[in-house]
Each structure stands twice: as C-alpha cells, then as structure tokens.
Structure 1
Amino acid sequence: MTAATTIEAPSRRDFLYLATGAVAAVGVAAVAWPFIDQMNPDASTLAMASIEVDIGAIPEGQIVTVKWRGGPVFIRHRTKKEIEDAANVELSDLRDPQTDAQRVKKPEWLIIVGVCTHLGCVPLGHEGKYEGWLCPCHGSVYDTSGRIRQGPAPLNLAVPEYTFLSDTKVKIG
C-alpha cells in the first residue's frame, strides 16, 4: 500500500497570513531602526577618533602635547643622544621589557599616550633621572622611550596607533 498525498492549492487565507507577517516584520524594523541607530557615536566622537599633527615645526629635543580622544599624547622630537640612550638600555633592567625600536616607527619621533600607567596622572616631560617623564603624583619615572624605569607604575607609557603621512605630518588614531 502506498500513501496518497494531496497538495491543496494556496488559499486566500494563506496569502493574507504571509502578507500580514511581512508588513509586521517591516513595521518592527522601522520602529527598531532609530533605537539601534542612536547607539552609534556622534559626530564629535568620530572627529576625535583620529587627528593629524604637523610635526615639522617641533624643534629637536622638544615635546609637544596634543589632545586625542580627550587625553594627552606626547610627541617628542628626540636628539641623537636621547635615541642612543634609549637604544642602549638592557632589557633585563626594564620592568616592562620593550626595545626602543618596538616603540617607534622613526627613531627621531616618539609618540606616546601621556597618561601614567599607575593611576592615570599626566607625567611631566624632561624630568626624572632618565630625562624622560616624571609622574609628580607617585614618583613613576619613564625614560626617553616612555618605558617605566622607577616607581609604582607597572607598564610603559602606551604607544597609540599612528601613521606618518609625510615627513612633517603624522596621523594619530
């Protein structure tokens, strides 16, 4: 014996169910879209996502502070002596071992986030035993590559994402 299967033609009621479901889905999407879209960052936040800085006017040996994402970023035009001092540090002497070459794209330019990794203070430039940065709040000392050398800070100063657009222009972020 074989079972006979009968297929009924779609009725008007089937069409109405499908049409009602489609209209409901479009309605839910139309109502949900503004709520989802409002979670995107606003224009001022997107504008702070990256900045371009003209570094051509920064003299050798100077540090410039720029604001990026609401916080300070230090751009240091390092001298030959500062580059040599940073390159000749033994990794075994460092709490957070990183070579100078891992922290810079061009040896003469150091670009780091200017927030102490201990409690978030802003360190002072050209200070401390290593002529790098000194956090006045708790005494963390960083060298000319932004690496922690003394004090309570556990990590080196962070290196943000950056790209050299030309010899005199850098994009941070």
Structure 2
Amino acid sequence: MAISQAVKKAVTLAPTVRTLPSGVPVAPLLNLAARPAHHDDHGHGGAGPRVDTPPRWSSGVSRTSSGLVSKTFTTISPSLYQPHRLLHTSVAVKEAPEVPDFSHYRANNNESHRALSYFMVGGLGVLSASVAKSSVSEFLQTMAASADVLALAKVEVDLTSIPEGKNVIIKWRGKPVFIRHRTPDEIQEARTIDWKTLRDPQPDEARVKKPEWLVMLGVCTHLGCVPIGEAGDFGGWFCPCHGSHYDISGRIRKGPAPLNLDVPQYEFNEVDGKLVVG
C-alpha cells in the first residue's frame, strides 16, 4: 500500500537590528522579492499560475513577534520505500555479508583424489576393527580363569600306589575320575567282545593308551549320576539311579544311558611313574 507523507519544516529567524528603509528586517539568504514572469519567445505561452508569489509547497514567510518565520512543505513520493524502524540504536544497519567464493579451493580433477579417499576410509576401518578386537580381547581376559584355578586344571596320580584289579577315584575340575588297573583277563574280555553290535560302538583300543590302565569320567551319560565300580551285569560299573550297566571298558551295555563313559585327556609320566589328568 502506497504511503504519502508530508514533511513540515519551520525556520525561525532571530530578530536583528538591521532593517530596510521600509522597516522590514534584513533576512540574509531569504528571497522575499516577487519572481518575474517567464516570457515565451515563441508566443506559445498562455495563462498560467502566478509567479509573483512563491509557491506554498516551496516556501512560505510569516511574521511573528520573535521575527520572520520561513515554512517549507515537501511531499514525499508514495513510491518511496520506508524502512522499518529497528529497536536497536545502531547508527547504520549493515547488509548481510556476501558469501565468499571457494571455487579456488576445489579440485580440478575429482578422479585424482578418489584413491586417497578410498585409502583414508580403508585405513580408518582397519584401525576401528583393531581397536574393537583389542577391547573385546581385554574384556574376555577378565572373564578367564585365574592362576590358582588353572593350577588345579591338572591332577597328578601316583600309579605305583594302585594295585592290579583295583579302582581309584580322584576329583578333577569338580568331577570324579575313575582309574582302573586292569588285569590281563579283564583286558582280554574287553577286547574279545564284538564292539560293532554295541549301542555306542567303540573298540577298547580307542579308549585306552595302555591296556592295563583305564581312565574315565565317573559321570553317567544318562542324567549325570555317579556309577558304582565293580558292579553290574558285566563286571564293570553300575548306575543305581536308572539301572545303566557298563562293562570293564566303560561301554554302555544295558540301561537307558545312550553313550559310553567319557575318556578325559591324560598323559603318562614314565620317569616319575605318574598319571597326569588334564
């Protein structure tokens, strides 16, 4: 919407002692004389506005008790833009800064920098994977067994203290271990049986490292009970909980147990005559 504003300016002339012969005070730079009429040399002029008095829009003079007053009226064009008045007291409102030109920083050929970009991405990926692996390894080491627990991971048994035909039960990692010093007849009985017809087929040679020494975990493969030695229908071990019968080689022969008694990892110390379980 166009806005028209008028500016009114008043100038007060201070009284002076200098006067004209007619008694009018002298006002420097103030033209009080009548303007002569313009004359058209070609005779095309017509009746127009009077020029012997100044136009009211340009100036006006009045006399007051304090002196002469000159008034000027100016009309502002409606199309003139009036900026909004801001709340701050800055002298001038600066325009928004121009965006700098970064074109001279751009690469001329993007293909030449692609290998560097791939190298940086790959290097950061390898570094991140290494840090993640190290963190996981450190975390898992905190959950590993301590030194005193690892010291109990192996158990030594003096074989010279076990007579022939007898059983010894030791504890290894919280589980019972059966050690049987077998007689020659027991060895022959264990190897003459047709092991291929058993529930869990396994030859006696695969269950022992020395024929006279049988080492097994004393845990029933049915529900984890502890079988009784030198008992059962086959002269080996018998589980009274559910009636599983094992032979002299620890193989299941009767009952609900699905598998043979497990054989742990063990070694023989020939120098000291000991058995090392674990």
Deviations 1:24-44 (A, max 9, x none): xx9x9xx98875442111233
For 2:243 and 2:208, the matched residues in 1 are separated by 25
5 Å-filtered alignment, 1:1-150, equals 3=108, 35-150=139-254
Residue in 2 aligned with 1:9? none
Deviations 1:125-170 (A, max 9, x none): 0001111000010010000000000000000000001111117211
Describe the SS at the equivalent of 1:87: helix
Deviations 1:90-131 (A, max 9, x none): 023310000000000000000000000000000000001111
Q: Percent identity?
A: 57
Deviations 1:11-58 (A, max 9, x none): xxxxxxxxxxxxxxx9x9xx9887544211123321222111111110
Amino acid at match of 1:169: K
Give the ranges of 4+ consecutive aligned residues of structure 1 lying more than 4 Å apart after TM superposition: 31-36
Residue in 2 aligned with 1:158? 262
Structure (1 or 2) with the larger CA radius of gyration: 2
Residue in 2 aligned with 1:171? 276
TM-score w.r.t. the length of structure 1 is 0.79
Question: Between Structure 1 and Structure 2, which shows a larger proportion of helix residues?
Answer: 1
In structure 1, list runs of 5 or more residues that go unmatched.
6-25
For 1:76 and 1:112, the matched residues in 2 are separated by 9
TM-score w.r.t. the length of structure 2 is 0.50
1:127/1:35 CA distance change after superposition, 3 Å = same
1:166/1:131 CA distance change after superposition, 3 Å = same
1:144/1:34 CA distance change after superposition, 3 Å = same
